[in-house]
Amino acid sequence: KGNTCTIQADGESVHRGIEINAGWAAGPWTLQGGAQWLHARRSGSVDPALNGKRPTNVPASTLKLQARYAVAGLPGLSLSTGLVAESDRMVLPDNSARIPGYARVDAGLRYLQNTSSTRLIWRAGIDNLFDRRAWRESPYQFDHAFLFPLAARTFRLSVEASL
């Protein structure tokens, strides 16, 4: 701090929580999910008013769900959808500003095509299907807060060849 060029750590953040992940497959369906709950607090700061506060850019909870369906009528084709949800994040070290949580839904399809000499995997997807607007991150560095927006609806196409 001050007018020096010296960099030093200002205390620490202690993260305690629980994370649960599970998967299930039956017939054409595959379901996967995970949840995380985190109690993160600062301690040992030069500024005692920051001790006990939430660290910046750390969500207290996260939820991820994915479902995939293998289409029986067209072997090699699978459809998928996913949900990612995160709770709010602190923007400033004193916790006086925060960005709200958000949820995003993605969708896609994958087609596996085997030829005599090549295996092709075709993929198409839409990230942020409902074109939600939100702040996805809020890192705090060098006494500045940075806000990164959630990417707008994005279309993806790709092909992968195994020779």
Low-confidence ranges of the chain (pLDDT < 70): 1-4, 7
Give the type of residue at 16: R
Rounded distance between C-alpha atoms, residue 9 and residue 87, angstroms = 26
- The pLDDT score that the predictor gives to residue 11 is 87
- The pLDDT score that the predictor gives to residue 3 is 67
E strand residue ranges, the chain: 12-26, 29-43, 61-70, 77-86, 89-90, 98-99, 102-114, 119-127, 135-137, 140-141, 144-145, 148-149, 154-162
In this predicted model, what pLDDT tens digit does every residue of 95-142 receive, in sequence order?
999 999 999 999 999 999 998 889 999 999 999 999 999 999 999 988
Q: Which residue has the tokens 């207290």?
A: 60
